[in-house]
Amino acid sequence: MSHIALLSWGLVTLMLAGVIFAAEPLPPDKLPVVKELPDPFLFNDGTRVKTKEDWEKRRAEILEIVSAYEYGHLPPAPGNTKVFELVSGGVELIKGASHKQYRVTAGPEAKPVSFLLDLTIPSGKGPFPVIIRGDWGWHKTAADITAEVVKRGYILADYNRVEVAPDNKGRETGIYLSYPEGDYGASAAWAWGFHRCVDAVLTLPFVDKEKIVVTGHSRGGKAVLLAGATDARIALTVPNDSGCGGCGSLKYQAAKSEDVAQITKSFPFWFAPIFTQFGGQQEKLPLDQHFVKALVAPRALLETEALGDLWANPEGSRITYAGAKEVYKFLGAPEKLAIVYREGGHEHNFADWGVLLDYADVLFFKKKPATERDWDGNPFPNSPKMFGWTAP
Ligand code: GTR
């Protein structure tokens, strides 16, 4: 059997009977300068995507590029997720809703990952859509937001991603004991945790299996974007103010926004080790965040952004959104990619959740929102053009 070695966009891949195997990613000094957003439709061998079948193959290449250079490779799906009920509707924390809490375990039998999943469930029989949020480690979802979620007929599922992997450089707890090998950082570990939450909610009879939503804020939003990019069971992905390593551009830095050098200085452990080498050299990266967004397509992706959150590069998020939109158009689902801006700063507030619920109502139930929304917000009409390619 012949191996065809392909060297393009800096990633060395071996094609064997059509399957792509990853080799080592290249360091910045071995890569060309790419100032613009790279063309997602261009295969590593220089040919261009023509059909939807081609896109599936190109999608696999993009996933490998993003994994190798930015987040590392997610640990495998273990296929043995277990769900133990701890609390069953005893206390009515939110009026009219029931409360259930579970312990979820998954991974190697000797050293499984273990974390809590806390559900607030609307009254009635269901099945209900579910919104999984990973930021319990900061605080439980605020009571007014939880009440609104269940009032609108959705289950709120709180999970603490920091139980899966710590938010520091230590690799001595959580998932790192279960899967000690690997180039993955905390963002990928947290995304893996979201996938185990999906495993768990899929076992619950009152959950609508076609209507699973994931959301999170800031670093939690970065993990959510990656989780949505890597799990087709997730119907709607909603990163909030996710910034650098999330929805923000890596190659276009608006004033006061966080760049690769800054983020990898403070939080190298969120990413694959090689990503740090691109600090100050982001033009050498063979990707930008439109690649990650494109992995979600044609499933729904809603970005909620704050105009005053300059550190999170709201303008750069609009640029990578425009790039990803070409992929959504190509796949015949442009309306499944949405972006909504609000005034104000870095928080995941009641208004952001209102946008999520309205979009989910449209997506799942074709309900017209009570509030008029611009799902294709563009407060930056004069942004520089960061790419010249379009959907084939
Ligand atoms: C900041 C970090 C951002 C963002 C934020 C957060 O310090 O630089 O990338 O993730 O933390 O998580 O709130």
Residue-wise pLDDT for 337-365, tens only, equals 999 999 999 999 999 999 999 999 999 99
Chain mean pLDDT for the chain? 94
pLDDT of residue 3: 32
d(CA 303, CA 342) in angstroms, rounded, equals 11
Looking at the predicted structure, is the pLDDT value of residue 8 above 50? no
CA of 47 to the centre of ligand 1 (A): 38
Q: What's this model's pTM, rounded to 2 decimal places?
A: 0.95
pLDDT of residue 191: 99
Looking at the predicted structure, is the pLDDT value of residue 211 above 90? yes
DSSP string, 102-118: EEEEES-TTS-EEEEEE
**What are the tokens at 151?**
């009032």
pLDDT of residue 22: 52
CA of 316 to the centre of ligand 1 (A): 16
pLDDT of residue 178: 98
d(CA 42, CA 49) in angstroms, rounded, equals 6
CA of 271 to the centre of ligand 1 (A): 13
Instruction: Quickly state the pLDDT bin for 90 (edges 50, 70, 90).
Output: low
d(CA 150, CA 130) in angstroms, rounded, equals 10
**What are the tokens at 166?**
């710590």
Ligand 1 atom 13 nearest Cα: 218
pLDDT of residue 300: 99
pLDDT of residue 53: 98
pLDDT of residue 91: 57
Best residue among 135, 257, 311, 317 to mutate for probing ligand 1's pocket (most ligand atoms within 8 Å of CB) is 311
Q: Computed over its alpha carbons, how large is the radius of gyration of the chain?
A: 20
If we measure between CA atoms, which residue out of 15, 6, 12, 48 comes closest to residue 27?
12
Ligand 1 atom 12 nearest Cα: 219
Please tell me whether the peptide bond between 369 and the residue prior to it is cis, using omega within 30 degrees of 0.
Answer: no
CA of 298 to the centre of ligand 1 (A): 28
Mean local confidence (pLDDT), 29-36: 97
Ligand 1 lining (C-beta closer than 6 Å):
218-219, 243-244, 258, 263, 266
Instruction: Quickly state the pLDDT bin for 23 (edges 50, 70, 90).
Output: low
DSSP, collapsed to helix, strand or coil, labels residue 36 as coil
DSSP, collapsed to helix, strand or coil, labels residue 162 as helix
pLDDT in tens, 254-301: 999 999 999 999 999 999 999 999 999 999 999 999 999 999 999 999
Which atom of ligand 1 sits closest to the CA of residue 266?
Answer: 8
Which atom of ligand 1 sits closest to the CA of residue 262?
Answer: 8
If we measure between CA atoms, which residue out of 187, 193, 194, 174 comes closest to residue 269?
187
If we measure between CA atoms, which residue out of 256, 230, 254, 258 comes closest to residue 242?
258
pLDDT of residue 318: 98
d(CA 248, CA 292) in angstroms, rounded, equals 11
Looking at the predicted structure, is the pLDDT value of residue 39 above 60? yes
Ligand 1 atom 10 nearest Cα: 219
Which atom of ligand 1 sits closest to the CA of residue 243?
Answer: 9
CA of 352 to the centre of ligand 1 (A): 18
CA of 218 to the centre of ligand 1 (A): 6
For 266, residues 6+ apart whose C-beta sits below 8 A from its C-beta are none
pLDDT in tens, 303-340: 999 999 999 999 999 999 999 999 999 999 999 999 99
Percent of the chain with pLDDT over 70: 93
Looking at the predicted structure, is the pLDDT value of residue 10 above 60? no
Looking at the predicted structure, is the pLDDT value of residue 19 above 70? no
Ligand 1 atom 8 nearest Cα: 263
CA of 354 to the centre of ligand 1 (A): 23
Looking at the predicted structure, is the pLDDT value of residue 13 above 80? no
Which atom of ligand 1 sits closest to the CA of residue 244?
Answer: 9
pLDDT in tens, 93-138: 677 899 999 999 999 999 999 999 999 999 999 999 999 999 999 9
Contact 303, 338 (CB under 8 A): yes
d(CA 6, CA 92) in angstroms, rounded, equals 59
CA of 269 to the centre of ligand 1 (A): 13
DSSP, collapsed to helix, strand or coil, labels residue 12 as strand
Looking at the predicted structure, is the pLDDT value of residue 87 above 90? no
pLDDT of residue 21: 45
For 47, residues 6+ apart whose C-beta sits below 8 A from its C-beta are none
CA of 306 to the centre of ligand 1 (A): 14
Mean local confidence (pLDDT), 209-235: 99
